[in-house]
Amino acid sequence: MFNKKNKNDDKRFDEKLVQTSQQGSLISIWVDRQTGVNYLYTWSAQGCAITPLLDENGKVIVAQIGEGN
């Protein structure tokens, strides 16, 4: 009713994987739903960083859009 969108339709990124270490740091992989680019995100008490995730040849990992990342 009233052209309401599903909340998931508004999300630009999907969280694909999350890991935590015993020291409390966080590593996660995020996928851009519009471009398919995979990003590696890290967080710790000292700070955080984000960078495109690369394959063994140094190329950016791009998922097929709509493959159920």
Q: Where residue 10 falls among pLDDT bands split at 50, 70, 90?
A: confident
The yes-or-no verdict on residue 49 having pLDDT over 80 is: yes
**Closest alpha carbon to 15 in 28, 2, 33:** 28
Computed over every residue of the chain, the mean pLDDT equals 87
Does the pTM exceed 0.85?
Answer: no
DSSP H or E segment with residue 26:
strand 26-32
Rounded Cα distance, 46 and 32, in Å = 26
| Coil, helix or strand at residue 64 | coil
Task: Name the band, by pLDDT with cuts 50, 70 and 90, for residue 22.
Answer: confident
Residue spans of the domains in the chain: they are 13-52
The tokens of 45 are what? 């008490």
